[in-house]
Amino acid sequence: MKPVSLRETIINSVHSHGLSGRPLSLAVSGGPDSMAMAHVLITNNSDLNSEIEILHFNHHIRGREAKSDSDFVNSFFKALDVPTFVSEGNVPALSKKNKMSLEAAARAARYEFFATHICESKRNSVLTLGHNFDDQAETILMHAIRGSGLNGLQGMTGFSTQTIQGLDLKIFRPMLSVNRESVLKYCEDYDIPWKADSTNFSTEYTRNSIRLELIPFLKKYNPEISKSLVKLGNLAKRDHDYIQSKIEDIWPSIATTSNG
């Protein structure tokens, strides 16, 4: 059987989640994952009939390099006549003020921008992210290290709703079954430019350390460790969903209500 291509994976995911015709807000950092995702969705939009826009956030962590990434994303997609919105925030200051890790502060600031923009635009848009198969494996391993239960061990889901600053944000990840190698090959095949984030090579960050050090170490014991981790996540999701369904079945018979 011929392997499903990156393009087919993304398009099929849009249809299977009932999102064809829905407005999509693509979070684009300028890296290969988000650039490949955006290329597929934009060049195949005649099949999807979606209003597409690009969202980019400058965290002010990498100085001129980050500004260069913002300018790249802004100019690249505006040249394609795709609505593009760029925002920025002082993440190092936010991290220090709230005593958060730089990673956590960056995520909080970025998602607040996404949620606020989508809410204010009143388009009922779906935030679309370029997380891939390897990202999923890293997430599951990171959650396991932190002692997560079934909910955390599921990793990321293809479609979910999260509440950010009181705003409900619909999140879609169409590339969770696509590995990093396939993404890079797609970019090469279609001459898609992308920007490298220098912080991705710093082991000061937990996720980077897991990707650059821990997973390569674990491959000595299991060359298919990423597949095993994702399988663990799928099993955790199956068990979590089963338990939740049983709770929902019996809850009405054991719950009591009080007028007080």
Give per-residue pLDDT as tens, 206-247.
899 999 999 999 999 999 999 999 999 999 999 999 999 999
Answer positive or negative: Cα dihedral of 167, 170, 175, 176: positive
Give per-residue pLDDT as tens, 129-150.
999 999 999 999 999 999 999 9
The alpha carbon torsion through 20, 31, 203, 138 (nearest 10 deg) reads 20
Banded model confidence at residue 3, pLDDT cuts 50, 70, 90: low
Query: Which structure tokens are listed for 83?
Result: 């609505």
Residues 162-189 have a mean pLDDT of 95
* Every domain of the chain and the residues it spans: 6-251
Give per-residue pLDDT as tens, 18-54.
999 999 999 999 999 999 999 999 999 999 999 999 9
* 35, 28 contact by CB (below 8 A): yes
Q: What class is the 6-251 domain?
A: alpha beta
Q: Which residue has the tokens 């600053």?
A: 165
Banded model confidence at residue 1, pLDDT cuts 50, 70, 90: very low
Residue 72 has pLDDT above 90, yes or no: yes
Residue 75 has pLDDT above 80, yes or no: yes
Calpha distance 137→210 (Å, rounded): 10
The C-alpha angle 3, 19, 158, rounded to 5 degrees, equals 60
How high is the pLDDT of residue 19? 96
Banded model confidence at residue 115, pLDDT cuts 50, 70, 90: very high
Residues 159-179 have a mean pLDDT of 94
Residue 159 has pLDDT above 90, yes or no: yes
Give per-residue pLDDT as tens, 82-110.
999 999 999 999 999 999 998 899 999 99
How high is the pLDDT of residue 260? 54
Q: Which residue has the tokens 């991290």?
A: 95
How high is the pLDDT of residue 4? 64
